[in-house]
Amino acid sequence: MLTITLWDDPILSKVAEPIADSAFGPQLEAFGQDMIETMVTKKGVGLAGPQVGVSSRIFVMTFPDHEDRKPIVVVNPVLKLDGWFTYEREGCLSLPGLYEQVERRNDVIMQYFNPIGEPQERHVTKWDSRIAQHEFDHLNGIMFFDRMSRQMKKRLLKEWEETRGKAR
């Protein structure tokens, strides 16, 4: 299992590097499987490279809105956002135990590569769309609290500090 970086790690505020064509193949596939194992073990629905200390444009996600919840590995994604805006509570494995309302688009078309380099396209909606956008944000150095008002962000981070202090 991989170690998850917490919200204040500098890697989470950097734009991740694209994965080179030469990196596609069995090694990237194995890393993607390690990410999936970590995500599932930690009871998450998505996990991005920077969250495990790797500043590369890769994330994994599952599909809570579908019967087939089989996770996928998404490499070098491009997202096309569409649909109306919705507000829902989100959490993050890099800020465990805290949740807050975040505005996201309801529909997304994801264009990406699988770990062996085959181009993929997938249309996701509702909660699945939210997961894709959340993980894509991680690749761009954006945490979910960066999409909140300053007051909400301040309150959330204060709650984090209080929670961490109790855990010590």
Give me the residue spans of the domains in the chain: 10-167
The mean predicted confidence, pLDDT, of the chain is 92
Name the pTM for this structure: 0.92
**Mean predicted confidence (pLDDT) in 83-87:** 91
Parallel, antiparallel or unpaired: strands 95-113 and 46-48: unpaired
H/E stretch holding 134: helix 126-139
**Is pLDDT at 18 greater than 90 in this prediction?**
yes
DSSP state of 57: S
Place 166 in a pLDDT band, splitting at 50, 70 and 90: low
The conformation of residue 14, written as its DSSP 8-state character, comes to S
User: Does position 152 have pLDDT exceeding 90, yes or no?
Assistant: no
> For residue 168, what pLDDT is reported?
40
Q: Is 43 left (phi over 0), alpha (psi -120 to 50) or beta?
A: left
On the question of pLDDT at 163 being above 80, the answer is no
CA pseudo-torsion sign 130, 110, 67, 137 = negative
- Top CATH class of 10-167 equals alpha beta
- Which residues participate in catalysis according to the annotation? 135
- 94-140 tens-digit pLDDT: 999 889 899 999 999 999 999 999 999 999 999 999 999 999 999 99
